[in-house]
Amino acid sequence: MELIEVIKKRRSIRAYEETPVEKEKLLQVLEAGRLAPSSLNEQEWKLVVVQSREIIEKLYHACLEEAYVKEAPVIIAACGTKPDYAMRCGQRAYPIDVSIAVTHMILRAADLGLGTCWLGSFYEDKVKRALGIPEQIRVVAVVTLGYPRFYPQPKGRKPLEDLVCFDKWK
């Protein structure tokens, strides 16, 4: 599939089939994250892949008890491992680097016929406790992964001219 078609196809999936994700597909999704660019090419992230129903139940509670979290056959906690490092521009690198890796993964998942939902609504301390993540590590995103029960309709997007300025801020 052409990349632009994958981008157009990708949706936040909040209803999953019970079908497990094949190991080969899961590894392809993870490989897409591994290949993502990062500040100084440090790749200061760790992905915790969860398939255990017992641990998914704990994550369900850590993620505001959203039903689709419990339905997903795979959950990935995407973590920044060097939270103190700032780029020259002053921005912390870890949320940007981890977000690029997660974006690569969710697009690869869509290309493989899988669905994802990028969660920002979770209790970081509960996710860390459930997964044994050290205190100094930051959980940037929790991502559900599986086969969609259905694809939601596309949401509207602002026109390009509302989002882009050329040469100076307008």
Go through the domains of the chain in sequence order and give each one's CATH number.
3-150 (3.40.109.10)
Tens of pLDDT, residues 17-42 = 999 999 999 999 999 999 999 999 99
Closest to 147 measured CA to CA, from 70, 72, 76? 72
Tens of pLDDT, residues 119-147 = 999 999 999 999 999 999 999 999 999 99
Closest to 105 measured CA to CA, from 17, 56, 45, 41? 45
**Residue in this structure with the two tokens 């906690």, named with its chain if needed:** 77
Mind spelling out the 3-state secondary structure of 100-135?
Answer: HHHHHHHHHHHHCCCEEEEECCCCHHHHHHHHCCCC
pTM of the model: 0.96
